[in-house]
Amino acid sequence: MPMLSERHRAVLAAVCGTLVPSVQRGDDPHGFFAASHEEAHLVERVERLIGLIADPRDRLRLDALLEALGSRTANLLTSGRFQTFPGMDLPAREAALRGWAESGIQLRRAGFQALKRLVHVGYYGWPLQGGSHPAWRAVGYPGPLPQPETSFTPLPTLPVEQDTALDCDVVVVGSGAGGGVVAGLLAEAGRSVVVLEKGENPAAEKFTQVEGEMLNTFYLDAGLMMTQSGSLPILAGSALGGGTVINYTTSFPLPAPTREEWARRSGLGLFTGERFDESLRRVSERIGVTTEYSDPAERDRILERGCRALGWHVDVIPRNVRRCKQGLECGYCGYGCRHGAKASTAATYLADAATAGARLVVRCEVDRVLTQSGRATGVTARVRRADGATAALTVHARAVVVACGSINTPALLARSGLSNPAIGRGLRLHPATAVAGIFPERVEPWTGSIQTRYSDQFADQHEGYGVKFETAPMHFALPASAFGWEGARRYKEDIARLGNLSIVGVLLRDRDPGRVATGRDGRPRVHYELSPFDIGHLREGLRGAARVLAAAGATELFSVQQPPARCHPGAGDWLGGFGAAMDARGYDRCRMSFITFHQMGSCAMGADRRTSVVGERGESHDVKGLYVADASTFPASSGVNPMITIMAIADHVARGILETC
């Protein structure tokens, strides 16, 4: 269905033609520079993406932006041209977009970034003619790989085709690192369990490796969720198995100093006690955490080489994989493992649950937790059927476990009538950004094991806060979203060098929190900005990342800012100049590209009812029989990829339920 008026569609077409025009260049053997948005039917695709945006307020903001670009008066005020955007010539349109991108007004910068992400991901994230793409051919990117001869069997799920009521001992909302663990342990212990999952049931043939399709299918809100300011895209898994299906398999335990800090913050002995030690051990064993399959891809060799040249810390990342081939296809693991080598909860705890008789329901959105006399008694939900219609589902249970992630868990509690002021507070996003380096040799950053090396050289800049260095596979969606834009030609030149590019990812352990607010429509809305304290650590980390890339042999560096800061290492005080250029552009509020893969801390576990939502066993302070078992229980940022910590908390919560229910 069309999402835009004809007037707004004409503006969008002009934006697409400005961001992705045909550029004339002599050496263009694959036709990448000459290719434009028309052959990609980009306007229609971006319009479909706009239709997938879950929050009506975000769509209204995009409508307002398109309206402004289509207004002569608005353009006179913003760019000094009394013309509609479609009425301008290409150089004028580029200048107008740069004015929005580098405006001193955050709302304009956010508007530009939103359109840029939609257009560029829409263009680069799907194949064009012949199942390929001129940009893919230009950099030697193979695109989606052939389906393997052998794969895995999807889990059995319970179809809900009509209004239905179920009864069980425990209903678990969410099936990821938290909910999956709880479901498996309770079902194996003989409890009757129903698991409700918002996302799809993964099957190998659904892992098409087409980036746009995978983001829309297996990520929360089609991979299009943003913070309210537009400064930070939010990526979270949405599938049976949650984030464990599409994450990078990085399996760090919670560091001992962080456990001590959490104990101080929460007033709980759990995090420094033997019971938590045992939970960490059990979950690591069940999902097969190992370094046996941590051979470095070229990206990780670069990180390791640079750190060793500087005499800095670097080590091997433990991973939850089994019989992992670690070849070309592993770089696609962020869109699911078609070989079943990733020990997700779908392959472990949920499989245990299904074998023990648990009922698994997918495409299910839970509206509220039911309560009676101060006790949880079940949930009401809606299940999306195969024909697109919905069926009502009511699950009656003796206990309810909420594990739908740090964005949706506080919203569900708020919709259910809980009024604890700590709900939604304390949100940390573990923001990630990067410095990119261009190398004389081929890197092919989409290949090899997904993530195998890290550095903690800057992890403790002040009382345990700082940044961690990791790498990430680079296909096209991430650079399409993150790279700064100075004009169409320069942007295409940056994309064309992707085969020789590597990044050092900078993951910030954020001290100062944001919050999840629940609107009158029941939807979660994320409010988050970096604090000066956290920006200080980020600045040092970015300079460190630049030094690593330079020490590893990069001939050019650039930041993912608007516009990018650029330098050639080795020329004079290159680091001082690069750092000053990054400072001049700024680091917050749509000036630098960030992303969050790890949301945590919005329903904290603690002893004080005034500052926490659940107690030591994960049970709500306000409603008996209502438990939370996901990253929202974190008292602060973990500072490491949080999967193992979430699982350990879920293991602890599940065992507590078994002792009382």
pLDDT value of position 148: 86
The token pair that represents 377 in the structure block: 């008694």
Of 103, 124, 145, the last residue of a domain is: 124
Task: Answer whether residue 520 is part of any domain.
Answer: no
- What's the residue count for the chain? 661
> Rounded to an integer, what distance in angstroms lies between the CA atom of residue 215 and that of residue 224?
8
Is the separation of the CB atoms in 231 and 225 below 8 Å? no
More confident residue, 226 or 386: 226
Q: For residue 566, how many other CB atoms are within 10 A of its CB?
A: 16
| In a shared domain, residues 107 and 196 | no
Report which of 479, 447, 440 is spatially closest to residue 141, judged by C-alpha positions. 447
Strands 390-402 and 425-427: unpaired
Is the separation of the CB atoms in 592 and 402 below 8 Å? no
- Is the backbone of residue 292 left (phi > 0), alpha (psi -120 to 50) or beta? alpha
DSSP 497-518: TGGGEEEEEEEE---S-EEEEE
- State the DSSP H helix or E strand holding residue 493, giving kind and residue range, or none if neither: helix 488-496
- Is the backbone of residue 466 left (phi > 0), alpha (psi -120 to 50) or beta? left
> Rounded to an integer, what distance in angstroms lies between the CA atom of residue 612 and that of residue 413?
13
Task: Answer whether residue 229 is part of any domain.
Answer: yes
**Residues 407, 411, 412: CA angle, nearest 5 degrees:** 115
Amino acid at 15: V
Domain holding 99, by residue range, is 6-124
pLDDT value of position 14: 97
| In a shared domain, residues 169 and 261 | yes
> Rounded to an integer, what distance in angstroms lies between the CA atom of residue 425 and that of residue 512?
11
Of 100, 124, 148, the last residue of a domain is: 124
Is residue 1 pLDDT above 60, yes or no?
no
pLDDT value of position 660: 86
Instruction: Look at the chain and report how many structural domains it folds into.
Output: 3
Backbone angles phi, psi at 557, to 5 degrees: -125, 150
Q: For residue 278, how many other CB atoms are within 10 A of its CB?
A: 14
Query: In which band, very low, low, confident or very high, does the pLDDT at 352 lie, cut at 50, 70 and 90?
Result: very high
The token pair that represents 52 in the structure block: 């997938």
| In a shared domain, residues 419 and 438 | no
Average pLDDT rounded to a whole number, residues 206-234: 96
Highest mean pLDDT among 74-83, 89-98, 147-156: 89-98
Amino acid at 450: I
| In a shared domain, residues 95 and 198 | no
> Rounded to an integer, what distance in angstroms lies between the CA atom of residue 341 and that of residue 496?
32
Is the separation of the CB atoms in 568 and 555 below 8 Å? yes
Return the C-alpha torsion angle 467, 471, 476, 477, nearest 10: -40
- Is the backbone of residue 632 left (phi > 0), alpha (psi -120 to 50) or beta? alpha
For the question of whether the overall pTM of this predicted structure is more than 0.85, the answer is: yes
Q: Which residue has the tokens 């991108």?
A: 101
Task: Answer whether residue 606 is part of any domain.
Answer: yes
| In a shared domain, residues 559 and 651 | no
Can you tell me whether residue 38 is helix, strand or coil?
A: helix
- Give the list of residues 6+ apart from residue 441 with CB closer than 8 angstroms, or none: 500, 553
Amino acid at 439: F
- Is the backbone of residue 561 left (phi > 0), alpha (psi -120 to 50) or beta? beta
pLDDT value of position 2: 57
> Rounded to an integer, what distance in angstroms lies between the CA atom of residue 446 and that of residue 140?
10
The token pair that represents 498 in the structure block: 């992707």
The token pair that represents 594 in the structure block: 């960030």
Is residue 129 pLDDT above 80, yes or no?
no
Is the separation of the CB atoms in 227 and 190 below 8 Å? no
Is the separation of the CB atoms in 229 and 590 below 8 Å? yes
**Residues 416, 422, 427: CA angle, nearest 5 degrees:** 100
> Rounded to an integer, what distance in angstroms lies between the CA atom of residue 635 and that of residue 267?
10
Q: What is the 3-class SS of 335-376, one letter each residue?
A: HCCCCCCECCCCCCHHHHHHHCCCEEECCEEEEEEEEECCEE
* Radius of gyration over every alpha carbon of the chain, rounded to an integer in angstroms: 24
pLDDT value of position 324: 83
The token pair that represents 5 in the structure block: 């008026």
| In a shared domain, residues 455 and 416 | no
- Which segments of 80-129 does DSSP mark as H helices, in order? 90-101, 106-124
Sign of the four-CA dihedral 650, 652, 655, 661: negative
Tell me the pLDDT tens digit for each residue of 13-32: 999 999 999 999 888 989 99
Task: Answer whether residue 302 is part of any domain.
Answer: no
Tell me the pLDDT tens digit for each residue of 587-637: 999 999 999 999 999 999 999 999 999 999 999 999 999 999 999 999 999
| In a shared domain, residues 13 and 40 | yes
Query: In which band, very low, low, confident or very high, does the pLDDT at 571 lie, cut at 50, 70 and 90?
Result: confident
- Which segments of 229-388 does DSSP mark as H helices, in order? 243-246, 256-266, 274-286, 298-310, 349-355
pLDDT value of position 434: 98
Report which of 560, 303, 260 is spatially closest to residue 448, judged by C-alpha positions. 303
Task: Answer whether residue 71 is part of any domain.
Answer: yes
Q: What percent of the chain has pLDDT over 70?
A: 100
Strands 524-527 and 514-518: antiparallel
Question: 574-585 and 532-551 are packed helices; what angle lies between their axes, rounded to 10 degrees?
Answer: 140
Can you tell me whether residue 559 is helix, strand or coil?
A: strand
Is residue 167 pLDDT above 70, yes or no?
yes
| In a shared domain, residues 205 and 84 | no
pLDDT value of position 40: 85
The mean of the pLDDT values for the chain is: 96
Task: Answer whether residue 150 is part of any domain.
Answer: no
| In a shared domain, residues 469 and 336 | no
Can you tell me whether residue 39 is helix, strand or coil?
A: helix
Is the separation of the CB atoms in 380 and 392 below 8 Å? yes
| In a shared domain, residues 578 and 466 | yes
Average pLDDT rounded to a whole number, residues 479-501: 96
| In a shared domain, residues 504 and 401 | no
pLDDT value of position 78: 87
- Is the backbone of residue 302 left (phi > 0), alpha (psi -120 to 50) or beta? alpha
563 cis-preceded (ω within 30 degrees of 0): yes
Task: Answer whether residue 294 is part of any domain.
Answer: no
Strands 453-455 and 467-470: antiparallel
- Output the furthest CA–CA distance in the chain (Å, rounded): 76
CATH number at residue 356: 3.50.50.60
Report which of 192, 238, 217, 241 is spatially closest to residue 351, judged by C-alpha positions. 241
Lowest mean pLDDT across 163-172, 174-183, 321-330: 321-330
| In a shared domain, residues 257 and 179 | yes
Average pLDDT rounded to a whole number, residues 69-96: 94
Q: What is the 3-class SS of 453-469, one letter each residue?
A: EEECCCCCCECCECEEE
Tell me the pLDDT tens digit for each residue of 249-263: 999 999 999 999 999
Task: Answer whether residue 159 is part of any domain.
Answer: no
Distances (CA, A) of 454 to 206, 309, 547: 31, 15, 15
